[in-house]
Homo-oligomer: A and B are copies of this chain.
């Protein structure tokens, strides 16, 4: 089973990487960029029998820092 886990900073958490990219796009002449947020994506290939609870635990224990990050699981 293929999973896509998307980890993004929670709203309100400062995102210096996103800000740097936003400024860089402006410097490169791209107008109209109003905001950039950077995140991570993990593509997992797991056994079909893997439970939703196990997937959730993987995210909470290893893939995301739930103090400052949200995660979303997409099945493919």
Chain A interface (Cβ within 8 Å of chain B)? Answer: 6, 8, 18, 21, 24-25, 28, 30-47, 49-50, 54, 57-58, 61-63
Evaluate whether A41 and B38 lie within 8 angstroms (CB atoms) in the complex, with A58-B30, A62-B25, A63-B21 already known.
Answer: yes
What is the chain B residue whose CB lies nearest that of A32?
B47
**Distance in Å: Cβ of A70 to nearest Cβ of chain B:** 12
Q: Are B32 and A42 in contact (CB under 8 A)?
A: no
Smallest Cβ-Cβ distance to A4: which chain B residue: B6
Residues of B within 8 A of A36 (CB): 42-45
> A42 contacts which of B31, B39, B44, B58 (Cβ < 8 Å)?
B39
A40-B38 in contact given A28-B61, A47-B32 (Cβ < 8 Å)? yes
